[in-house]
Chain A
Amino acid sequence: MTAVSNDRIEAAQAALDAHVRDIIAHHFSPETGTPVWLDYAKAAGWDPREEVRSFADLIERFDNFDGERLRTDAHEMWIPRAFAGRPFTIFETGGSTGMPKQRIGWDDYKLDYEEFSELLDDEAFPPGGYWLMVGPTGPRRLRLAIEHLANHRGSSCYFVDLDPRWVKKLISSGQGDQAKDYMRHVVDQALSILKHRKVDALFTTPRLLEALGDEISIPDAGIKGVFCGGTEMDPQNVRFLCEEILEGQVGFVPTYGNTLMGLACHKKGFEKENYSITYYAPQPRAVLRVTDPEDSRKLVDHGEWGRVELTTLTHEFFLPRFLERDAAKRIAPCEDFAWDGVAEVKPYAKNEEKIVEGVY
């Protein structure tokens, strides 16, 4: 682990605290504020603008946000007055069934991905080259975000959709064969694009990447960089993707993100750290904490497992202390990011149940 000076950690902390004050002032003031938060302050009987002066205060004073509200609240409740009158985009969370969680927004996704673009290597993701996204498009933020990212880099992007809700339904109703056929259908479409068009960069999920790599040599298909996200990636799977699916010849950029957060970047050089990937939230716009499963106000120690908690802090969207359904290891700040990271993210429930195989 490359050391990072205490000065930089403190500076990042100070910047976060200042950002918290700015965001709180924005969402809780009558002029620019958001109905949800104005109502909250009224009911709570205290003024966050007075009492939340730092990120630590925010953790202390706000409880875990109930994500169910994102399914039921009228969108109007979530429009900051500062944005009144501007049409918004509605984004939905990943593979949920039933009424999805929704987040409305304006420019956040563009800002997040423009920032992210700075971290991409031009060799693996050549500006002006073509992109292909194979994965959940539909109502997801990711779809517009990837196109914006490509455009921002002077590129255009092809899309092949994968509907994860349908896959979930097929699997939960025991139609595994149908699910396989559907995946095959998705892969076939991607293969046709790759066969007939020149594609330089790919965004996809680990599983689809594996399925594509089973059919063709990805470097031979001309792909120079793969940007991957959507599901958990344990070190062995990452190594397998890098060494065997990408044949050690293609840039690999794993990310962790969702509609509510944006996207977290990985720390470079994971190949030298046994492929354990550490992600760092786009602080101060979002903060990830690895919390004690018993008491999410407490953090676990560095290197320990805990439950991931997200706080989103933008002028468009304030979401305090939302508990994700993910478990991760808490990792210390590093040279590139002067705040805590999360590593080896996996579904939270999986952490609890140890599956015991049958007797035989």
Chain B
Amino acid sequence: MTKLRHVVRHEFLLTAANKAYVILTILGPFLIFAVTVLPSLLTRDPGAFAAGKPIAVYQAPETLRGTLSASFAAMDIDVEPVDDETTAKQSVLNGERVGLLTVGQGWPETGGAVWYSKSGSEVALYGTAQAALESSAREIKITESGLDPALVAKVLASPSFEVVKLEAGGGETKAGVESYFSVLMTAMVFVMIIYMTVLLYGQMIGRSVVTEKTSKTVEIMLSSVTSRELMFGKILGLGLAGILQYAIWIGMVFVLRAVVGPVFNIAMPSALSMANVAWLVVFFILAFFLYSSAYAAMGAASEDEQHLGQMAWPLLIFLIVPLVMIGTLTSNPDSGISVILSIFPMTSPIVMLIRILVSEPPAWQIVACLGLLAAAVAGMALLAAKIFRVGILMTGKRPGLKEVIRWVGVRG
């Protein structure tokens, strides 16, 4: 056990001192922040695009100008009427104004409205302008046709509609497109995190084993420790580094949530709860051990890194399938295929995590998933140890699948 501890410590330090690890650990939360919070930050405050610059309006009728001013005032953007279209366009090009809205003669009956800007991509701004144009045009038409504006407002008012999520405990929460989007976002982020880390650490272990072979260090290592100690030392060492990375990320996310959230007045996605984060960690750990054992075995059976890459593609497929199916899985979390994939150990860590996030899978399915996954981890570890023991000393030839299967039965 002491020797195993030394190997674990060595591998952990080797990983933690790796530049890629340090960079990923530090940048990870910012990437998560960029994906989860930044979009809502930008859509909530499109005024950020304008940076205090005004919008020019050419030939807008009085009522439209009023509506526009009111709409843009909410974003702290001024609306300036201009007399010369050409100079106004020039001022947009110069960056003095963010955009120019020209309204044709006889609007809204005959003339059209055009939005001019430098990039044409400030959706939030011209979306606001468009909404103002629509409501103003409607108002003008209603007034012109002599209808009672109050009556029209009553006719056009949308009926109330709500989506409510029923919970097993009898609770009810408001859902809907927005909250579904938030859950989907969180699910995407979680899935990407698990996918990337499991793949990254798996490949790191595979490469580390291959390097041990190609650099001939393995002979010296095995003269001191058993092949099991070497393999599990590597897996546990990297696993510790992975868990440390997750701890740092989660810590930073909660700091962001507590500090950045209130400052910018943004709500974190509600799906980013403690319970869901705990599930993320549980599934990461299980997936990590499953895939790292498989990668360690493949590393031992490989001749070089290129060979490892060729051998490991079936593992990649299992990781990619849930990723490709994420749309189907989130919109239909309790379908037959979702249930099967969430119980089959190679795909279950990602698929069950998605299901837990977006729906409430029956307890027996979660138990079956965890039980099978734990059994698969144990089975894979035993199998990997056997392949590793023989494969790690094999050099000079690329073993076929038949040969590798034969190694499993080699005694002594």
> Do A and B interact?
no
